[in-house]
Structure 1
């Protein structure tokens, strides 16, 4: 099994296991900051009524729901994720909200099952670090965006502030898996999430990957001293 296949299988197992507690654990381990971060990211997406949007690695669907409200009944949101268990939670939320403009799709971010230039905007929130190859996914998102289309990526990052950096990694390496064990009976799964975050590129490196994928006018919004960041890129008109 290749390294990419091994990572894919590992990540799939993790999210198939933690789906029931995923939302509550997200709030716990981020001190509820992830909701404010997503609101900032939403403002950068700036989705408009009637637009077509894809939310890649949509998980339990919170960002997809927010985007669906933004594009309105005349628009459409596709929430794409490879964990059917995570999508079950998203489907429940969709039914509660009674949104008819969301389609939840079980699919692979490495090979997005849509034609070129299908969407006006794309998002990926806390999912890029878990894919087998970051650049492949960015290129796939670029492919399915229309010229002038926007990608917004909300993800963990690598703070460079002395001491704060060490505290951040101590928290991710030791405290977060412990919280996973106590509140979700999932120590090894949350230990894996620490590993995926610690190996994820810093803001400058991810900007370079955006550029390699073809995006222009790339901007970065650093969050909480750099422990997370929002990257935005635009697919050129020509």
Structure 2
């Protein structure tokens, strides 16, 4: 299995496993930043939108509302269980202009310039060659259209994040990670350099500092179980997992942690008309 296929398989497994808690009230940041991304690209009624790494529709659903019944949003994700949840939400909102597609952003095969906008929220970093993925999205945006890439900023989920990985290392050292995929573009300079490599040089990059509340330490555990960290946690035996959980949550209680950093970076690019 090559690097891309391996990364795709791991991401698919992690997020299908996390689907049961992905939309838990403790994980409101998905919808918050999805809506914020969509608000930044000024979608118009009747426009066609490609939304990749859609999850349960955090950006696809607000995009569908903005483009209206004469518009179209195609929501793509590797995790079919997340898309199933998105479809339920779309039906509840009576949105008929959404199409859901299980797949990866590198092999969609749409023609050049067939979308007014392309959106990727918290997903571009899962592709080993991010610039290649951005080029593919950019190819499908029409001249005058927009591309929105949203990624995590520095110090994601700190201070709980470091305590979590310490608990993982104490139980299973081989599963410890001192680097996450989003670290490659977790500052404006790194994100701008990656977009430049993809051929996008005129881009508006905005950082947003944010604190995500933890009403109880258990909220943190819901977050890690309802996110990509689930891929690591599912490798533990049940008794090991329980020890990691207890060790991690006891540290949060001891330090009275009631909030974690959830900093994001938005990149919006307009495709030249000529």
Normalising by the smaller structure, the TM-score range is 0.7 to 0.9
Distance in 1, Cα, partners of 2:195 & 2:91: 35
Q: Deviation per CA, 1:100-121, whole angstroms, max 9, x where unpaired?
A: 1011111211222311111001
- Kindly tell me: are residues 5 and 136 of structure 1, through their superposed partners in 2, closer, same or farther at Cα, counting changes over 3 Å? same
List runs of 5+ in structure 2 lacking aligned partners.
Answer: 168-175, 211-261
Q: Match for residue 202 of structure 1?
A: 187
Q: Match for residue 163 of structure 2?
A: 174
Residue 28 of structure 1 and its aligned partner are, at CA, apart by: 2.8
> Secondary structure of the residue that 1:105 maps to in structure 2?
strand
Q: Match for residue 36 of structure 2?
A: 40
Q: Do the aligned residues in 2 keep the contact of 1:112 with 1:140 (CA within 8 Å)?
A: no
Q: Do the aligned residues in 2 keep the contact of 1:68 with 1:77 (CA within 8 Å)?
A: yes
Residue 34 of structure 1 and its aligned partner are, at CA, apart by: 4.6
> Secondary structure of the residue that 1:45 maps to in structure 2?
coil
Q: Match for residue 76 of structure 1?
A: 72
The number of residue pairs the alignment matches comes to 217
TM-score with structure 2 length normalisation? Answer: 0.71
Residue 172 of structure 1 and its aligned partner are, at CA, apart by: 2.4
Q: Match for residue 114 of structure 1?
A: 110
Distance in 2, Cα, partners of 1:68 & 1:16: 23
Q: Do the aligned residues in 2 keep the contact of 1:109 with 1:131 (CA within 8 Å)?
A: no
> Secondary structure of the residue that 2:19 maps to in structure 1?
helix
Q: Per residue, is there more helix in 1 or in 2?
A: 1
Residue 216 of structure 1 and its aligned partner are, at CA, apart by: 4.2
Q: Match for residue 219 of structure 1?
A: 204
RMSD of aligned residue pairs (Cα, Å): 2.8
- Kindly tell me: are residues 125 and 177 of structure 1, through their superposed partners in 2, closer, same or farther at Cα, counting changes over 3 Å? farther
Residue 168 of structure 1 and its aligned partner are, at CA, apart by: 5.0
Higher RCO, 1 or 2 (CA under 8 Å, sep at least 6)?
2
1:28 alignment partner, one of 21, 26, 31? 26
Distance in 2, Cα, partners of 1:215 & 1:235: 9
Q: Do the aligned residues in 1 keep the contact of 2:54 with 2:75 (CA within 8 Å)?
A: yes
Distance in 2, Cα, partners of 1:107 & 1:95: 21
2:125 alignment partner, one of 122, 129, 141? 129
Q: Match for residue 141 of structure 1?
A: 137
Structure number with larger C-alpha Rg = 2
